[in-house]
Amino acid sequence: MQALPSELGDAAAFERQYWHHCQRRYNFQPIYRTSGKLLAIELLTAVFSPAFPQRFVSPETYFASINVAERLQVVIEQMQLLSRWHPRFIQDGILASVNVDGQTLDALQQSHEAKQLIASMPWLRFEIVENQGTLSQEVLTMFPEMRRLWLDDFGAGVANFSSLMQAHYDCIKVARELFILLQKSDEGRQLFPSLVALLSRFCNHVVVEGVETQEEWGMVMQTRADAVQGYFLSRPQPFENFSELKSTL
């Protein structure tokens, strides 16, 4: 039996209300250079309903379910949070990355508040996935923030080398999915250092994501990767711990 239009409307309204009332909690995960020195932190968003504060929902689903204006306000909120630690970022030469989609990056161009924050935070970087839907690579390269962009999840299913030819990212992050796939065969393990070397020609930093074991750490150390992110070096932490975070391993 098909749902009536009124029932569908009620369900959609309930879903909008649910996502509107969800709350956010922020953690960070360190990104360490292969030399052991801290390169950056990535801000991570935990989303939950007030009715179930210990039951987290997918942040990807959350951001896909709210509109662009709301996503922009979340990014501004994240930048305001990070700005509290401005002296630490400057003193230790640490970068901080936040995740953003193409539509929100486009909307950011019209926000005076966002632009002011960005101008005051030279250490801020934006992580963006390659597949930006209606936002073309050509449009992306025209944004003033292009020099601050990190390409996230390279090799996770949509990324290809054509985008690297059109834009020079500050950083390319190799997805754990690709890293794991290459570990499964001798050919893949032999290819991995060459892939990292090639990526390094198109950016300032290559970061390998999802390193979880001593063996994986050793594999990355044999390449030209600049840095590593993963549970082997550090799990996500609450921002209350940021002041205690060591600048070296």
Q: In this structure, are residues 155 and 128 in contact, taking their beta carbons and an 8 Å threshold?
A: no
Q: How far apart are the first and last CA of the chain?
A: 60
Residues in the chain: 249
Q: What is the pLDDT of residues 12-71, one digit of tens each?
A: 665 667 777 888 999 999 999 999 999 999 999 999 888 777 888 888 888 888 999 999
Q: Give SS3 for 248.
A: strand
Q: Residue holding tokens 């630490």?
A: 88
Rounded average pLDDT over 85-111: 95
| Token code pair at residue 133 | 């839907």
Measured on CA atoms in the order 182, 187, 192, 195, is the torsion positive or negative?
negative
Query: Tell me, what's the pLDDT at 73?
Result: 96
Distance separating alpha carbons of residues 140 and 163, to the nearest angstrom: 10
User: Which residue from 175, 220, 229 is spatially nearest to 39, judged by alpha carbons?
Assistant: 229
Q: What is the pLDDT of residues 100-128, one digit of tens each?
A: 998 999 999 999 999 999 999 999 999 99
Q: What is the pLDDT of residues 223-234, one digit of tens each?
A: 999 999 999 999
Query: Tell me, what's the pLDDT at 138?
Result: 67
Query: Tell me, what's the pLDDT at 142?
Result: 82
Q: In this structure, are residues 226 and 33 in contact, taking their beta carbons and an 8 Å threshold?
A: yes
| Secondary-structure breakdown of the chain: helix, strand, coil percentages, each rounded to the nearest 5 | 45, 25, 25
In this model, does residue 161 exceed pLDDT 80? no
- Local confidence band at 172 (pLDDT 50, 70, 90 cut-offs): very high
Amino acid code (one letter) for 224: R
| Token code pair at residue 154 | 């390279």
| Token code pair at residue 192 | 């991995």
Q: In this structure, are residues 127 and 152 in contact, taking their beta carbons and an 8 Å threshold?
A: yes
Q: What does DSSP assign to residue 44?
A: E
Query: Tell me, what's the pLDDT at 21?
Result: 80
Give the list of residues 6+ apart from residue 83 with CB closer than 8 angstroms, or none: 117, 120, 121
Q: What angle do CA 153, 221, 224 make, to 5 degrees?
A: 65
Q: In this structure, are residues 204 and 196 in contact, taking their beta carbons and an 8 Å threshold?
A: no
- Local confidence band at 141 (pLDDT 50, 70, 90 cut-offs): confident
